[in-house]
Amino acid sequence: MSDRSPRTTPPREWRKRIRIDPAVHHGDPCIAGTRIPVSIVVRSVAEGDTEVQILASYPQLKREDIRAALLFAAEAVDRFDLLPLPTWTAPK
């Protein structure tokens, strides 16, 4: 994100902004009070969308929601034991 403003979302504060409810969006983690999945927000950032673009696309979000989604994703990845993927070589 291009805005280098001071941190407004401490690392564990995502817990106040992310909800997992089986009755909302099939139980996918969503931004609290919305049906916007965390995965949509994270994917938007990964695809190069700026905060301004994301907020324009989803006006019900706040900057803190975007940061919370990224912090949630980072913590989720930290909880997995990741194994290296085997390399694949094309047959000659």
| Best CA proximity match to 69, nearest among 89, 88, 49, 92 | 49
Q: What percent of the chain has pLDDT over 70?
A: 86
- The predicted-structure confidence for 7-16, as pLDDT tens digits, reads as follows 555 567 788 8
Phi and psi at 61, nearest 5°, equal -85, 160
- Domains for the chain: give ranges and CATH numbers: 11-77 (1.10.10.10)
**CB 16, CB 8: distance < 8 Å:** no
pLDDT tens across 40-63, in order? 999 999 999 999 999 999 999 999
Distances (CA, A) of 38 to 59, 84, 85: 15, 25, 25
Measure CA of the first residue to CA of the last residue in the chain; give whole Å: 43
